[in-house]
Structure 1
Amino acid sequence: MTRLFLSALLCLVGLSAAAAECAGQTPCAVGDRSYHLRVPDGWDGVSPLPVLLHFHGWGRQGSLTVRHGRIAVGYVAEHVLLVAPNGLNGSWAFRRPGSRDTDFAEAVLADVAKRYPIDRQNIFVSGYSWGANMAWRFVCESRVAVAGLLAVSGTLSQRETCARAPREMRQVFGLGDGVLAFPMGPGGDQTYPVALWRQRMGCGEGVSEGAWNARPFLTFERTRWDCADGKVVLDVHPGGHFIPHDWIPIQVGEILGLR
């Protein structure tokens, strides 16, 4: 019993030492690249942590993500280990299968697991703009089991073929997006931005859940699909190209059953 206790203690000490090397604005190195992370408030130092892997928008870095007022807040700040890889030259290689950034992000998660105990049943992947495109690419081809794909104002072509699928897919897009135009389907189909996942995950008919608000000044129209292999949710709003207040933390909270 004493030997087992000492072994567990040494393991915890090792994790703590590795974790202390980087956090917040101090990047963690993975080869010649890096990422940032934020430990949730009030973590007990022992319990396995859900993870949110977030791909930043074009021209940004993970140092912004871990202090972002629309990402690192609410259920994310309170309950989730936020992991933010740094794209090369502020960008991501998402356009074709076999992305170098999929391999990089997998290496990032492996490095995180050396520093912190992670809950592998609750790994979330999110992204904004080109980062959302990369989040789709990562989930599409990564070997990581993803509990939820949370994409903001970005997708891949709906004609892509994906080897993998998340347990839940949640997408938000603005009809007035002037940067990455809303991917309207044939005949003005506003559900087309998630057509790939609806087919891949074996979804039935969509159910309109009506209007909802995270903040009073922006209204979402939600459609939900229950699927053979999970669930797909699409939130559409009349605005443009931005991360809506509280949207990412709310999705994390709902999937984790905290909300």
Structure 2
Amino acid sequence: MQKIMILALLSVVLQWSVFAQNTTIKVGSSTRNMIVYAPSGLSNPALIIQMHGMNQDAPYQKNAAKWESIADREKFVVVFPNGNNKSWDISGNTDIDFLKTIIDTMYNRYKIDRNRVYVSGFSMGGMMSYHAANKMADKIAAIAPCSGYLFNNTAASSRPMPIIHIHGDADDVVRYNGVAGVIEAWRKHNGCPATAITTKPYPANKAN
């Protein structure tokens, strides 16, 4: 029985290693790296780019986000890029070029659906998501920043950008009290109505 359990565990580890790969790519004259998770049975899949926070890295974000089981079920590719020095260039083009190269690489490798490229990230990775919306809206379908926003509230995408922003009100690093200004800037930029629509998917006393 012990041998069977060891073999089963080894099978799972080997399967994961096939689906998740540490990958390096050239971006201009630089070499950048990332973790790519690509399940079997892909056909014109969507791509999710999931970025870590400051002083974190791709393995940390992969373990925190736990996208693998969802990617297995829905058949999409997830990329966890590594920022230089565990940070992101949220004002220039260094990491914009990185994201564009990731998209092209994933198209060449997995024939991703270029109309279904989504950018997300935590904390500084969330800030980078907004920067990507402003700089490369023609390359991405939507963004989903978590606990991160640009402090100047810049909303300058070349087209209306679908956004889901997730933020905890106890955040003492990227303060929750700055979220309203960000949402208002993007509401105006996207041409959304001024009257908010509140959705409560779960009763407050039954949320899990």
State if a TM-score over 0.5 links the two structures: yes
Contact in 2 for aligned 1:125/1:150 (Cα 8 Å): yes
Answer 1 or 2: which has greater helix percent: 2
Q: Structure 2: how far apart are the matches of 1:157 and 1:61?
A: 22
Call closer, same or farther: CA 1:212–1:192 in 2, change over 3 Å. Answer: farther
Task: Give structure 2 stretches of 5+ with no counterpart.
Answer: 1-16
Per the TM alignment, residue 170 of structure 1 is displaced from its structure 2 partner at its CA by 0.6
Report the AA paired with residue 138 of structure 1: A
State yes or no: 1:28 paired with 2:23. yes
Matched residue of 1:112: which SS? helix
Which residue does the alignment assign to 1:187? none
Q: Structure 2: how far apart are the matches of 1:44 and 1:166?
A: 33
Q: Structure 2: how far apart are the matches of 1:138 and 1:215?
A: 34
Q: Structure 2: how far apart are the matches of 1:218 and 1:99?
A: 41
Which residue does the alignment assign to 1:39? 38
Q: Structure 2: how far apart are the matches of 1:217 and 1:58?
A: 34
TM-align CA RMSD: 2.8
State yes or no: 1:198 paired with 2:187. yes
Matched residue of 1:121: which SS? coil
Answer 1 or 2: which has greater strand percent: 1
TM-score (norm 1): 0.63
Contact in 2 for aligned 1:54/1:126 (Cα 8 Å): yes
Query: What is the percent sequence identity of the aligned residues?
Result: 21
Q: Paired residues, what number?
A: 187
What stretches of structure 1 move > 4 A for 4+ residues in a row? Answer: 213-219
Report the AA paired with residue 172 of structure 2: G
Task: Give structure 1 stretches of 5+ with no counterpart.
Answer: 1-20, 185-189, 220-259
Which residue does the alignment assign to 2:67? 72
Matched residue of 2:101: which SS? helix
Q: Structure 2: how far apart are the matches of 1:165 and 1:154?
A: 21
TM-score (norm 2): 0.77
Q: Structure 1: how far apart are the matches of 2:184 and 2:66?
A: 26
